[in-house]
Amino acid sequence: MPATRWRVVVAIAWLAAGACTNAATAPSQSAPPVAPGIWAALGASTTAGFIVSSPSRAWVPRLQAAVEGRGVAIFNLAVAGSITSQWMPANTPATAGRPAQLSGNNIDAAMRERPKLLLLNATNNDLVVGIGIDETLANLLAIRAIAAAGGASVVMISTQPRALSDADLAQLRTLDTRLAASFGDCFVDIRTPLAGPDGRLLAAYDAGDGVHPNDAGHAIIFQRVDAVLQSGRCVAAPH
């Protein structure tokens, strides 16, 4: 699908710049504050807004509406169907069987905007096309390192439930466990609240294809992301 660059003006009241530690274990120091300015989002179809009844129902515009008018612009660089290797920088060595990086929708494009915060949404597309979770994790950690080096805090949003085999669903759980360990208080679990008892997308949150969340599912994602942003544990709110 063609890449879509979606600018969303949102608002927030967090102050001053700084990069979230996101070490291999949960951070132990005080959470850094985040300044008004540019935020960027990298992800696949869910972050791009699929499949909702209107654009305003997707989780990124919901974040906009919650914090309207306080000086943050989100550049939503998510591309439906993309995989994590496509979000890597252009100088990443080519890997056989992997598509080229999305030059206008990768971490290079995000960092050109000098963002204060990167919202990074783990996709389950890697698993669907046969990429192992070790490679996915390595890609996401490399993206975090680039963002942190550029002064951006990073919020890591988990995978989401999907109509997959039990073995693949177990892999998603393992990936999320490892992401949670790596990102600590900056990890957002959206898979658990969206999943039914079998680990697949709960009917109440299913847009109808077993893959994409509906309006109610996007509301859950927004609530989970917003809760982490306002908790003061990953990034700090002003006094």
Per-residue pLDDT of the chain (239 residues; tens, 9 = 90+): 444 444 443 333 332 333 333 433 344 356 877 778 889 999 999 999 999 999 999 999 999 777 777 787 889 999 999 999 999 999 999 889 899 999 999 999 999 999 999 999 999 999 999 999 999 999 999 999 999 999 999 999 999 999 999 999 999 999 999 999 999 999 999 999 999 999 999 999 999 999 999 999 999 999 999 999 989 899 874 33
Q: What is the largest CA-CA distance in the chain?
A: 50
**Three-class DSSP category at 20:** coil
Q: Which residues face 37 on adjacent strands?
A: 72
Taking the C-alpha atoms of residue 7 and residue 39, their distance in angstroms, rounded to an integer, is: 10
Taking the C-alpha atoms of residue 28 and residue 179, their distance in angstroms, rounded to an integer, is: 17
Domain boundaries, the chain: 6-231
Considering only CA atoms, which of 51, 3, 59 is closest in space to residue 201? Answer: 51
Q: Under CATH, which number does the domain 6-231 receive?
A: 3.40.50.1110
What contacts 127, CB < 8 A, 6 or more positions away? 133, 136, 164, 168, 171, 172, 175
- State the burial class of residue 24 (Cβ atoms within 10 Å of its Cβ: 0-12, 13-18, 19+): exposed
